[in-house]
Amino acid sequence: MKYALVTGGSRGIGRACVQKLYKMGYEVLINYVSNEAATQEALASIDGHGQLMRFDVGDAEAVKNVIGAWQEAHPDDYIEVLVNNAGIRRDSLLIWMDSADWYKVLNTNLNGWYNVTSAVLQPMLLHKFGRIINMASLSGLKGLPGQTNYSAAKGGMIAATKSLAQEVARKKVTVNAVAPGFVKTDMVEGLDEATLKKDIPAARFGEPEEVAALVGFLASAEASYINGEVISINGGLYT
């Protein structure tokens, strides 16, 4: 059995990644923080052949305990693919931004990356194979007004991707980031799609499955020589 962990696997892009990795033959560990109903739907969408892993990625102790308990219960296995997908946004202009919104976004989107990655890295190195795929964003490359917190977190994740890739490449572990533009999920609910798509060369928002297809490729053996990269997937909006 080969295992993949998708953080924030209950909904949106994460759920599409769960489905893609399942089709690639992985037993998928579906992480979520609170939405039981959506997580059950995600599990049902892969015919129940997955495991649920509830924890807040921003809670270092919880991450360590849950992943540690899984590893203890599976001493001969390891998580060979990690998709660091869990993320939130709390947008406002910096001048109006509450410190709580700054810290919450940084803690979930960037400290969460550290918490989960450090919990699964050692077994990947020992087994001399691993794939870490980080869900960044256009906002982390280009910056977007109203998203200083989110841009800082995603930009930090991109920089960490490049550093870690160089640390672990010799052990045949690759670390890459995917930077989506606008993708149709709960996260973009409330955005004015009709206006925003006028600026997108492809003239539409992306589908979660399109992002998952890229994640699946980066997880595959064929992608062995791609390391430390950030791949945009945004309909031509920004390269």
Tokens of residue 212, six digits: 């998952």
13 binds ligand NAP (CB under 6 A): yes
Asked if 71 interacts with ligand NAP (CB under 6 A), we say no
Told to judge if 150 belongs to the known catalytic residues of this protein, a careful annotator would answer yes
Q: Report helix, strand or coil for 188.
A: helix
31 in helix, strand or coil? Answer: strand
Question: Which residue, 107 or 126, is less far from ligand NAP as judged by CB?
Answer: 107
Contact 146, 96 (CB under 8 A): no
Number of residues that bind ligand NAP (CB under 6 A): 30
By CB under 6 A, is residue 56 in contact with ligand NAP? yes
Nearest Cα to 63, choosing from 124, 107, 17?
107
Distance CA(132)–CA(124), nearest Å, equals: 10
Among 4, 14, 70, 117, binds ligand NAP (CB under 6 A): 14
**Smallest distance from the beta carbon of 47 to ligand NAP, in angstroms?**
19
Question: Do residues 57 and 7 touch, judged by C-beta distance below 8 A?
Answer: yes
Say whether residue 137 binds ligand NAP (CB under 6 A).
yes
Q: Which of 81, 70, 115 is nearest to 3 (CA)?
A: 81
Q: Name the one residue in this structure whose structure tokens are 């109203």.
A: 146
The binder of ligand NAP chosen from 4, 18, 31, 130 (CB under 6 A)? 31
Report whether 234 contacts 179 (CB < 8 A): yes
Binding pattern to ligand NAP, positions 87-126, x when CB under 6 A?
xx-------------------x------------------
- Cα–Cα dist 98/109, whole Å: 17
183 part of the interface to ligand NAP, by CB under 6 A: yes
Q: Is 61 in the site for ligand NAP (CB under 6 A)?
A: no
Q: Which is nearer to ligand NAP, 11 or 131 (CB)?
A: 11
If you compute the radius of gyration of the chain from its CA atoms, what whole number of angstroms results? Answer: 17
Exactly one of 3, 114, 150, 238 is catalytic; which is it? 150
* 41 counts as binding ligand NAP under rule CB under 6 A: no
Which one, 35 or 71, has the nearer CB to ligand NAP? 35
Should residue 35 be labelled a site residue for ligand NAP when binding is judged by CB under 6 A? yes
Structure tokens at 236: 């031509």
Q: Does 148 bind ligand NAP (CB under 6 A)?
A: no
- The CA angle 109-114-117, to the nearest 5 degrees, is 110
Q: Which residue, 182, 184, 164, 185, is CA-closest to 229?
A: 164
Shortest distance (Å) from residue 185 CB to ligand NAP:
3
Residues that bind ligand NAP in the complex, under the rule CB under 6 A: 7-8, 10-14, 31-35, 38, 56-58, 85-88, 108, 135, 137, 180, 182-183, 185-188
Catalytic residues: 150
